[in-house]
Amino acid sequence: MNIPKHIAIIMDGNGRWANLQGKKRIYGHFIGSTIIDKIAKKAKELKIEYLTLYTFSTENWKRPQNEVNFLMKLLGIQIRKKSDFMMKENIKFNCIGDITKLPQKQQEAILNLQEKTKNNSDLTINFAINYGSYMEIIRACKNICMDFSLNKLNCDNIDENIFEQYLYTKDIPDVDLLIRTGGEKRISNFLLWQIAYAEIIFLDKYWPEFNEDDLEYCIKEFSERKRRFGGLDD
């Protein structure tokens, strides 16, 4: 079976799943946060090298304040909880996005976990937190302009490889497989540059229902597709 090197997941449907259970949306977010460990273990078992999870988008700040407050609190709790798990499983934690907008405790938890796990090598998990692809690309353009003004960069030399070094995902391979749970069929401003040639699978299952078998199903579907990258079959 052809195993993707980099899988990205839009973990959608927590709130709608909770409503179907007759519970508040925040219950769905809590249950959804507990799914990550078993999916990470399965990804490691399958020799996936990178797993990127859309955790909190730049647009999520528009949600009701009580939900945002809960998500920030849950984020801090879960990141601190995952320290022992990631060390035991030899998983490296990485964060992409502008974490300076987060509460100070959450920023510290993120930085501490990145430092603690930086030498782990079986799997890298990227949490996309306060992440939006528009913001990422604009940020890259601003930094390129700054380096040009400081004579650190010749604009004639800019190509895809150089541009990618200004993204949050520098030194991380592009996404091979993008999975979105929850039944919606859109990208939602997630890794727009990095998924240019990704295979995409939309699932009707909500994220709290997603399990190891679903991950294997998606990888099997991926392995049966022909990736031509704009070319033709041999």
154 — pLDDT class (breaks 50, 70, 90): very high
**Total count of residues recorded for the chain:** 234
Beginning with the edge strand found earlier in the chain, give each strand of the sheet holding 177-180 in spatial order: 91-96, 123-131, 50-57, 6-10, 177-180, 199-202
Instruction: List, for residues 192-212, the tens digit of each pLDDT value.
Output: 999 999 999 999 999 999 999
End-to-end C-alpha distance for the chain, whole angstroms = 20
Residue 231 predicted with pLDDT over 80: no
The residues that are catalytic are 12, 60
CA atoms of 164 and 208, how far apart (whole Å)? 33
**Integer angstrom CA distances of residue 62 from 16, 38, 56, 139, 173:** 17, 30, 11, 21, 31
pLDDT at residue 234 in the model: 54
Among candidates 40, 137, 139, which has minimal Cα distance to 94? Answer: 40
Q: What is the mean pLDDT of the chain?
A: 95
| Residue 223: Cβ within 10 Å count | 13
CA atoms of 8 and 222, how far apart (whole Å)? 13
Residue 2 predicted with pLDDT over 90: no
pLDDT at residue 213 in the model: 98
CB 180 within 8 A of CB 154: no
Average pLDDT of 50-71? 96
Residue 9 predicted with pLDDT over 70: yes
CB 110 within 8 A of CB 99: yes
Average pLDDT of 104-117? 96
CB 129 within 8 A of CB 102: yes
124 bridge partner residues: 50, 92
Question: Which of 41-55, 79-93, 218-232 has the lowest average pLDDT?
Answer: 218-232
Residue 115 predicted with pLDDT over 90: yes
Average pLDDT of 69-73? 95
Among candidates 54, 159, 47, 57, which has minimal Cα distance to 101? Answer: 57
pTM value is: 0.95
1 — pLDDT class (breaks 50, 70, 90): confident
In a 3-state reduction of DSSP, which class is residue 117? coil
230 — pLDDT class (breaks 50, 70, 90): confident
Residue 151 predicted with pLDDT over 80: yes
233 — pLDDT class (breaks 50, 70, 90): low
The label of the residue with tokens 């700040």 reads 61
Residue 120 predicted with pLDDT over 90: yes
